[in-house]
Amino acid sequence: MTPPIDAHVRLDTHPTHPSAVTAVLAGAQARIALMGLEAADWTVVAENVLVLVRIDHEEPYWAEDAAKHLSAEGITVEITPRLREAMDEEWTWANYPMPWCTRSEIRRVSNEAQKIHDDIRHGQLLIHAHAHDGHTTVAVGTYLGRNGKSVYLHGEDHLRQVADTFDSPAQALLAFEKVHTADMRPGAAPLTDTERAAAEARATFGLTAAKPAPSRPEPETVPAYLADAGDHDALLDAFLDAHGDWEKWRTWSDETTHAIHESQTLRIERTHEAPAHETAWTVAAYETPVSDRMWVLTTTGATPAPVLQELLDHLADGDGWDTAVSAPVDERTVTAATQPLSDAGWKHTVDGRWIRWTSPAADAGVQFDAFAAQHPNQTLATWTVWAGPNADRPTWTLTASPRTPSSLLAHLAENLAQGTGSRRAQTTGRERRTNLGIAPPAIPAVAASRTR
């Protein structure tokens, strides 16, 4: 017999969504229940509060399934009468396009559609392009990962299915464009009403009273590389609002936002809620929409707002990242990229394969890896920018591959050498510690060509 666990789960209907289910946890071992529900695709919306919301409106069925598993683990589960009524209710889809399916078969089809929806929402399935075939929405995308397959999707919400698979994104895009040239648009389709309602239901509950914010010290002016990180999401939103030649790929993703330039050769991936020391931004450029990546730049979650702003400002200038003029690193490009540092009196040293520039206060630096620069067809971290206590314990880092344009690097270097920003006084003496060498998230090598 499974010993009891000191955890209590109360399942109830959602206060605003017609089919969603909420779970409120209590007990010293509530964490065990929380982990089990998260594994079943419940979303944490507040402390010890989760919500299950699906695009197929089968939440009561799956909530009952979760309740059975929790009870089998020795966790006490309470189901409110109104939720129990919803669990026992028999219903069918009106005008369901596959009337020959039994109720269990319909549930199986809709659960597969739910998995596709969740893969897109979690950034595991990247949608390259979409179109309307006269009846419904169709799309083409690629599952991220070493052996990720490309898929052709047909339908919306609980009827979306994988209609075909391809060995590569390029193959999938070419096939998709051949059929849907006139109506093809980059990125994912706008949210359906069902998807929008689901996203709203996952919004954080206001279950706890707001506490007055403590008084904050006045900000001080510091070099740009020591400034506060600020709101990275707000920086990206402002950038996209100001530049109509960029478009979000998935505006509602919980984990990531993908943005693409209308040329289809420059992409930004913003990983939300990334820890300070892990990759939060990836910028990648391609010679053509279906070519291999030419260069990539990544930066971590604690990167100061002025540095990111400088990067985004430069990306807004198409001449600044023109892949047609991107070239392997040589002595001339290194000099051009680092001239602002030399002009500002940064210390220049050479140590074997490493060439370094260090700020006068030794609290920031730029490192060039001559060995990595000898492999221009790879995306090795040839350039590393850091700031913090020292190079081994940086607060934030930025890395760039061999063919990253020297003009972009020079603008960043000028910002490091001359730029300023604001920073609020630290309330603790602890230093933020981060690690170098974090692998950047992959960005697919292709995207759909824009059709006007």
Q: Output the DSSP codes for 286-349.
A: ESSTTSPEEEEEEEETT--HHHHHHHHHHHTSGGGG-GGG-----HHHHHHHHHHHHHTT-EEE
pLDDT of 253:
46
pLDDT of 444:
33
> Span 8-88: which CATH code?
3.30.70
| Rg of the chain in Å (alpha carbons) | 25
| Cβ 370 vs Cβ 359: under 8 Å | no
Q: Judging by DSSP bridges, how do beta strands 266-271 and 256-261 pair with one another?
A: antiparallel
Domain ranges of the chain: 8-88, 103-197, 219-424
Angle at CA of residue 74, ends 73 and 79, nearest 5°: 100
Look up the pTM and report it: 0.50
* Distances, alpha carbon 280 to alpha carbons 95, 197, 261, 270, 272, in Å: 44, 28, 19, 6, 7
Beta strands in 403-452 (DSSP E): 420-424
pLDDT of 60:
94
Query: Which of 260, 269, 186 has its CA nearest to residue 449?
Result: 186
| Cβ 124 vs Cβ 115: under 8 Å | no
Q: How many beta carbons lie within 10 A of that of residue 303, not counting itself?
A: 25
- From CA 169, how far away is CA 123, in angstroms rounded? 16
Query: Average pLDDT per run of 10 along the chain, which is 452 residues long?
Result: 80 91 94 93 91 93 94 93 89 77 89 93 90 93 82 94 93 93 89 89 56 59 94 90 83 71 90 88 89 90 95 79 58 90 94 94 94 77 93 92 91 95 60 30 32 29
Which are the contacts of 265, defined by CB distance < 8 A and separation ≥ 6?
Answer: 285, 286, 287, 288, 289, 323
- From CA 450, how far away is CA 183, in angstroms rounded? 10
| Cβ 23 vs Cβ 50: under 8 Å | yes
pLDDT of 257:
87
- From CA 139, how far away is CA 132, in angstroms rounded? 9
pLDDT of 211:
42
pLDDT of 447:
32
